[in-house]
A and B are shown apart, each in its own frame.
Chain A
Amino acid sequence: DQQVKQNSPSLSVQEGRISILNCDYTNSMFDYFLWYKKYPAEGPTFLISISSIKDKNEDGRFTVFLNKSAKHLSLHIVPSQPGDSAVYFCAASEDTNAGKSTFGDGTTLTVKP
């Protein structure tokens, strides 16, 4: 049973437009949600996180929205830039689980100039 799902394997957007990456989860015990970005031949790097007690967190061009009732979160990138082209992983963790995270399968974002 996959607890964190990213249903869109890929997304293509035009430079300057908004990118919206989606993530669904099934475990209501998750306390935190994190987004990571991965370029080819590099390890993932942390992008932004949100606590389950919040519904929005913003950091520059990146905003994460959490809808607990729908068990859904989304990452918005505005405006999108070609350098944002990467694989984005959604991850979720519980405070009581020793820092272990459950990752989604990733969404490949391509931003076209």
Chain B
Amino acid sequence: DVKVTQSSRYLVKRTGEKVFLECVQDMDHENMFWYRQDPGLGLRLIYFSYDVKMKEKGDIPEGYSVSREKKERFSLILESASTNQTSMYLCASSFLSPGNQPQHFGDGTRLSIL
């Protein structure tokens, strides 16, 4: 079974802190994704990566950056956390093609910025 592991289930940080969310997958997937989920807004794509050191902006990249130094690991970075970044963050991975490859999700990190 595919395993996508997010480093923390719950995280509480303060405004202005630099926050790192880590994600590791064990299926040699080319693609990795970071989403945030907010009530009534579904899953919104922050960034994705289709290869090591490659990254593409999603729909809401402002205030975030990412790092993919190894194929299995994709990190989301909040450079200076703000209260409006309080949310559920979901990491996912998939094979690159064809387009019907399902994404495999981690269980999420609930991040609170105080």
Chain A residues with a Cβ under 8 A of chain B: 6, 9, 31-32, 34, 36, 41-46, 49, 51, 89, 93-101, 103-106
**Number of B residues contacting the other chain (C-beta, 8 Å)?**
32
Residue numbers in B under 8 Å from A49 (CB-CB): 100, 102
Question: Residue on A with the closest CB to B91?
Answer: A43
Q: Please give me the 5 A-B residue pairs with the lowest Cβ-Cβ distance, nearest first.
A: A43-B105, A46-B102, A105-B42, A32-B100, A95-B99
Among A46, A93, A95, A104, point to the contact of B42 (Cβ < 8 A).
A104
Question: Residue on B with the closest CB to A9?
Answer: B40
The reply to whether A98 and B42 contact each other, CB–CB distance below 8 Å, is: no
Q: Which residues of chain B in 89-103 are interfacial with respect to chain A, using CB atoms and an 8 Å cutoff?
A: 90, 92, 94-103
Among B43, B96, B102, point to the contact of A98 (Cβ < 8 A).
B96
How many angstroms from the CA of A53 to the CA of B42 in the assembled complex?
27
The answer, yes or no, to whether B4 is at the interface (CB within 8 Å) is yes
The reply to whether A43 and B107 contact each other, CB–CB distance below 8 Å, is: yes
The reply to whether B45 and A42 contact each other, CB–CB distance below 8 Å, is: no
How many angstroms from the CA of A106 to the CA of B35 in the assembled complex?
14
Residue numbers in B under 8 Å from A96 (CB-CB): 99
Q: A43-B4, A100-B48 are in contact. Are A93 and B99 (CB under 8 A)?
A: yes
Question: Chain B nearest CB: distance from A51 CB in Å?
Answer: 7
